[in-house]
Amino acid sequence: MSLTPEQIIAANKANLETLMGLTSKAFSGVEQLIELNLAAAKSALADSQQQAQAALSVKDAQELVALQASLFQPLAEKAAAYNRHLYEIATGSNSEFQGHVEGKMAEAQKAFHTMIDNATKNAPAGSEAAVAAFKTAVSAGNNALETVQKAVKQATEVAEANVKSMTATALNAGKTAAKKR
């Protein structure tokens, strides 16, 4: 099976378009991350200014302890929100890349199966057993790949649930600690 120059040009063009699309998606994720960090820095600066002014207006130690206790909960909530947003950016970018890879794998598998079908149609007489064994091996490989993809998807879902659970636990711990002071 030989490729024509037109097929090679078309494949290169498709690969270039894919590269440009993935690069654009990667830049979008980086842009979101930069925006998140800038917003967090602005918020931290504003909070620091407010906290410094509040600390300067404290009249006694008891007021200072109360001020410190009141600052802990909002800080914990902001940290949890930042981590949640960061996680959303990462998983969003990852799912876009994963979807693209899965699509390309499906296209490659389809092309491979077409090639196998063409090859088996042109196989010499008496090679039916070898062709059947080859098709069985390809089918087993595809099944193994699907199993791995399902396992990765399940592991991702478990990790996402764990992140949500840890965030909720951290917020609850922050509320409890703030109430104890």
135: its two tokens: 């098709």
Question: In this model, does residue 1 exceed pLDDT 60?
Answer: no
What is the rounded CA–CA span in Å between residue 75 and residue 96? 32
Helices and strands (DSSP H and E) totals, the chain: 3, 0
**Residue 135 near residue 120 (C-beta atoms within 8 A):** yes
Judge whether residue 181 has pLDDT over 60.
no
Position 177 confidence tier, pLDDT thresholds 50, 70, 90:
low
Give 108-158 pLDDT, tens digit per residue.
778 777 777 777 777 777 777 877 787 788 788 878 878 887 887 788 778
Mean pLDDT of 73-84: 86
CA-to-CA dists, residue 114 to 3, 5, 107, 110, angstroms: 15, 20, 11, 6
Return mean pLDDT, the chain: 82
Residues 158 and 27: their CA atoms lie apart, in Å, by 28
Radius of gyration of the chain (CA): 28
| Domain extents in the chain | 5-180
**Is 173 a residue whose pLDDT tops 80?**
no
